[in-house]
């Protein structure tokens, strides 16, 4: 099978085998839903598990941030983190210490407690692989699903695309970018995308929940923005219409994707938050986000399911393109 997410058809088949008889499971595994929610003693706990496999630089920092994002997208507050570190035989002690420091520093930044995990040197791998599990708490009034979008909702996107994919390419393949005509200045700026504009959406989600009537939130990750949008529609059993000209593609992303022949709409997109909400609340959300230094744009609308997934692009109306494989995964596989 190709590197990347399992095809939705296979994943649906696998998820259908999971028993659903436990009444404490408020939200279980579904396509488009990135976190689980369970009721424990009357309290709601959000749980998320996600690995870091692409990035080598700052992998420990990444692991905490991307897991915290999915807790926040469920309306929760990230609280506790467990990390399983699978390390290659070639790793040296200073690298181990650096990974641990990244995890601890990232947890501290988010006021998250590192409560356990597992560490081992593993045969057959050439880079550290970090499997992160984040737990958080959510108030019932804030509990938000990807699949709670409502027909007529506006779709708002924060920060721009594709922040994470751009940063990884700049950090992992700088010489290839230089050879493709990308300037050193663009590469240097792109390497800073991890923190500016940043891949965390914890603050974005908090602002949205506190300022407007949020129906659903989702952070587009593997497969890029268009995959994230399709996941909202599928999870909500609705359609959507998106205006390509309203989607903010950051200038460094545009140059890097053009140089490497990649589509930015299918490139690893952590750092952006998708929010669906009543259209009349959009100005309030955009203003509140801007007050906190976060730019955001209204890019489309949730529509009836029979209208499908529509993109109003440069050449007219078309079906929203699908990316069965993330553009980053495709590039790395073809340029080992």
Verify that 124 and 197 share a domain, yes or no. no
Q: In sequence order, which residues have a C-beta less than 8 Å from that of residue 35 and are 6 or more positions away?
A: 27, 46, 47, 48, 70, 71, 73, 74, 76
In a domain? residue 313 = yes
Verify that 153 and 50 share a domain, yes or no. no
CB neighbourhood size of 153 (10 A): 27
In a domain? residue 288 = yes
Q: Which residue has the tokens 């959300």?
A: 285
In a domain? residue 212 = yes
Domain boundary among 113, 142, 171: 142
For 223, phi and psi rounded to 5 degrees? 95, -5
Q: In sequence order, which residues have a C-beta less than 8 Å from that of residue 336 and are 6 or more positions away?
A: none
Verify that 150 and 134 share a domain, yes or no. no
Verify that 153 and 131 share a domain, yes or no. no
Verify that 38 and 151 share a domain, yes or no. no
Q: What is the CATH number of the domain that holds 120?
A: 3.30.1330.10
Query: Of 81, 86, 57, whose CA–CA distance to 132 is shortest?
Result: 81
Verify that 102 and 131 share a domain, yes or no. yes
Domain boundary among 85, 115, 142: 142
Pair 272, 159: CB distance under 8 Å = yes
Q: What is the CATH number of the domain that holds 239?
A: 3.90.650.10
pLDDT at position 314 is 83
Residue 115 lies in domain: 34-142
Verify that 226 and 255 share a domain, yes or no. yes
CB neighbourhood size of 19 (10 A): 7
pLDDT at position 34 is 85
The number of domains in the chain is 2
Verify that 194 and 311 share a domain, yes or no. yes
Bond prior to 162 in cis (omega within 30° of 0): yes
In a domain? residue 25 = no
Verify that 63 and 212 share a domain, yes or no. no
In a domain? residue 17 = no
Verify that 325 and 238 share a domain, yes or no. yes
Query: Of 215, 223, 228, whose CA–CA distance to 325 is shortest?
Result: 223
Q: Which pairing describes strands 309-313 and 239-243: parallel, antiparallel, or unpaired?
A: parallel
Verify that 290 and 188 share a domain, yes or no. yes
Q: Which residue has the tokens 């027909």?
A: 151
Verify that 295 and 222 share a domain, yes or no. yes
pLDDT at position 55 is 63
In a domain? residue 39 = yes
In a domain? residue 150 = yes
In a domain? residue 187 = yes
Distance CA 144, CA 218 (A): 9
pLDDT per position in the chain (336 positions), as tens?
A: 776 677 778 888 888 888 888 899 998 888 888 899 999 988 899 999 998 886 667 889 989 999 999 999 999 999 999 999 999 999 999 999 999 999 999 999 999 999 999 999 999 998 899 999 999 999 999 999 899 999 999 999 999 999 999 999 999 899 999 999 999 999 999 999 988 999 999 999 999 999 999 999 999 999 999 999 999 999 999 999 999 999 999 999 999 999 999 999 999 999 999 999 999 999 999 999 999 999 999 999 999 999 999 999 888 999 999 998 899 999 988 887
Strands (E), 20-145: 25-27, 36-40, 43-52, 77-87, 113-121, 129-138
pTM for this model (two decimals): 0.92
Domain boundary among 118, 142, 166: 142
Distance CA 126, CA 56 (A): 10
pLDDT at position 56 is 67
């Amino acid at each position: 099978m190709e590197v990347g997410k399992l095809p939705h058809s296979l994943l649906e088949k696998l998820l259908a085998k999971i028993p659903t008889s436990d009444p404490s499971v408020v939200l279980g595994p579904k396509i488009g839903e990135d976190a689980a929610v369970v009721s424990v003693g009357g309290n709601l706990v959000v749980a998320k598990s996600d690995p870091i496999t692409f990035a080598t630089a700052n992998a420990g920092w990444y692991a905490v941030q991307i897991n915290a994002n999915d807790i926040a997208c469920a309306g929760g507050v990230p609280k506790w983190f467990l990390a399983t570190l699978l390390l290659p035989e070639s790793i040296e002690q200073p690298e181990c210490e650096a990974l641990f420091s990244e995890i601890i520093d990232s947890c501290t930044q988010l006021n998250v407690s590192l409560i356990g995990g597992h560490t081992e040197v593993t045969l057959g791998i050439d880079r550290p692989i970090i499997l992160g599990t984040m737990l958080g708490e959510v108030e019932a009034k804030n509990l938000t699903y990807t699949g709670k979008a409502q027909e007529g909702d506006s779709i708002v996107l924060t920060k721009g695309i594709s922040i994470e994919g751009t940063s990884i390419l700049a950090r992992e393949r700088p010489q290839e970018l230089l050879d493709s005509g990308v300037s050193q200045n663009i590469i240097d700026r792109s390497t800073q995308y991890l923190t500016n504009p940043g891949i965390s959406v914890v603050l974005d989600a908090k602002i949205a929940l506190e300022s407007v009537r949020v129906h659903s939130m989702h952070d587009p990750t593997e497969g890029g923005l268009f995959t994230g949008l399709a996941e909202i529609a599928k999870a909500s059993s609705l359609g959507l219409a998106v205006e390509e000209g309203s989607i903010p593609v950051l200038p460094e992303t545009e140059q890097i994707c053009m140089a490497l022949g990649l589509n930015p709409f299918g490139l690893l997109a952590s750092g952006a938050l998708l929010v669906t909400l009543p259209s009349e609340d959009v100005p309030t959300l955009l203003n509140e986000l801007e007050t906190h230094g976060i730019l955001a744009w209204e890019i489309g609308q949730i529509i009836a399911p029979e209208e499908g997934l529509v993109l109003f692009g440069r050449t007219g109306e078309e079906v929203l393109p699908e990316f069965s494989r993330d553009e980053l995964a495709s590039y790395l596989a073809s340029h080992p």
